[in-house]
Chain A
Amino acid sequence: MRILNQIIAVCTINLKSLPQRFWLSLSTVMAVALVVGVLLAFLAMAAGFQQTLNGTGSANVALLLRDGSQQEVNSTITLEQTRLIAEAPGLVRKPDGSALMSAELYVIVDAVKRASGMKSNIPLRGVGQDAPALRDGFTLVAGRMLQPGSNEIIVGQALTKEFAGFDLGQEPRIGGVTWKVVGVFAMQGSVFESELWADLPVVQGLFRRGSITQTVRLRLTGADALAGLQRYSDDEPRLKLKAFSEKEYFAGQSSGTVKLIQYAGWPLSIAMAVGALAGALNTMYSSVASRSREIATLRCLGFGGFPAFVGTLVESLALSLIGGLLGTLVVWLLFDGFTTSTLGQGFTQIVFSLSLTPALMVQGVVLALAVGLIGGFFPALRAARLPIVAAYAQG
């Protein structure tokens, strides 16, 4: 109890005397805030990207690619293969007995970013009429569905925000042809919101693909029907296809980019944290020096060295915590929900929103406290070991 009283008294004295060291303390707070801010901006980017891809796709939708292909862009599926796979077991069928499926073509086209005016790649997806029924959460938020056989497109909501020329009613030129935007769709922020959709035969004709598609999507009767579908493909020599659950496919697509962002974010933040650490050490050594008379007085009164140690450490942790919270707050205010785009694995831009999750906030604050702990430890040791007589000489 007595040691606790001493610690509380020393902490109170240290924290109440902070205004006397305002500018020095502020510099440490700002340095830590910067470190945490940079780290969280990177991690929020990775988390937002991951959430977008992980939120894409259903476990009950099978995605078929040519065996050996890992992405839609380098897959090819013939019309014959499409017809054969439609006979597979375990598929949801429409009242007329045909499978609920969509053969799709994925081509890369140019678009201009609203923010920078720079050209970027975006995906134009040629889809069948069942495509919306194969996407959970698909809703038309403006306009109407495209008419088969026409040069009409519907546009993902995220894409219209990020790229110019795709607002409802606009007539963008793609592949030398004028199109008309007749609808805008939302899909719970998934990666499909970064796409343009047009009628499959029109896209095949315009881009001279004949009857070739790249993927086939099928609605399964259940997630466990995927294995049966793969077996069906393996047993049929004309089908050399690989079946993924759509959810599994998109989760796999996110991992590389997420790792890249994280691997850039952490080393940069740690390098900056070393700089902040030097600032924290300087601040805390100055703090101990300026409080040496107070420390010596308390020691004269009978206070132990341990409370002086804890008091200095608490001061350092408090400054770092303030810095960490400040950095977190700034990132949250400026970047949480901020929409941007980056190159996905299909060589097209994926629009996503930065997401500062509670778990990331904890990581930022932990980094701040680590800076405070290391930056305060050695000055705290000095405070605890300060010979009383020498402290008076300094004070």
Chain B
Amino acid sequence: MFDITKIRADFPILKREVNGKPLVYLDNAATSQTPQQVIDVIVDYYHRLNANIHRGVHTLSQEATDAYEQARIKIQKHFNIAKPQEVILTSGTTHSINLVANGFSSLLKEGDELLVSAMEHHSNIVPWQMLCERTGSVLKVIPMNANGELVMEDFHSLLSEKTRLVFCNHVSNALGTINPIEAIISASHEVGAAVLVDGAQASPHIKADLQALDVDFYTISAHKVCGPTGVGMLYGKEAWLKKLPPYQGGGEMIAEVTFDKTTYADLPHKFEAGTPNICGGIAFGAALDYMNSIGFETISSYEAELLAYATEELLKIEGLKIYGTAANKTSVISFNIDGIHPYDIGTILDKLGIAVRTGHHCAQPIMDFYKIPGTVRASFSFYNTKEEVDVLVAGVERAKNMLL
């Protein structure tokens, strides 16, 4: 049974006020809030477990190592990943993508082609542009239509024997579009191309089965799923991770070091140089436990209800236009009002205690596509309510009256 009052009580931050008004937090696509259950794990770590991992013989180090490795197993199970060594713990999606992009420097040659979707976050564009500069490979763009959906016919015609890598987000951060990654993965594999899916925005809404998807790389950030910032996952198929050279050198990632030659540790440690975010990793596992205790089916059906209600109510405002109207989308609404800059709306909403994101959402190519400076983005989580949607709609009305 989904008890919203009980769920909201798990999040201490939701009780605070902003500018004298109760906080209405609708910037969940930027970062999710942290439930007490996860905060408790973080506090407990520093109260009871804090030690460096994977090397100490003392009890604290052993216990911290166990907790960290258990978190890896939780992540593995959550995404139905075949082996724990295919879970690389990183500082987040950006780190994960850079790790892969760096690794491919030695595997690509001039004239190889890389395909990127038109609706990527800058973190899934720039590392590949840098890779292309290093290797002489060419980056080609899978276009999108006015609804914010990828044009699949164009994707199929861009695919060729030259295509080595394809990058796409599972869900667009700016528009909420759920991309047809199953079709993208299978078609890419037919021409022998590997696929990296950025799952950062999908992870709070969709529990991806990575073996079923047969995806080569999948990345997420813990802070989108009620976990802390500064920790995330790179999933890679073992065969790929073995092929890629280490990203950073240092402690933890080595088997043996001499001044003549160093041999590298096995997976996953080969990619985990240095002391990791131990507490963050453990809390990441706890955050997935929390999300799973509510259940992703429950979460997504509740969020779908919120999305439908918010879309309907916002569209009643004259002059309001929603960007990203894909048939298949998560609870994200990007919008503008005719004649008003999104930043002005965001400023007034903040005065009313409503947190939304304004700007280009690190996805400038999407804004260029629509020829707009940015949008106001309200993104809903399972702890938001219809009453909060009403506060948002009233706030937007008020901003409109002030600004027009």
A binds B: no
A→B interface (CB under 8 Å)? none
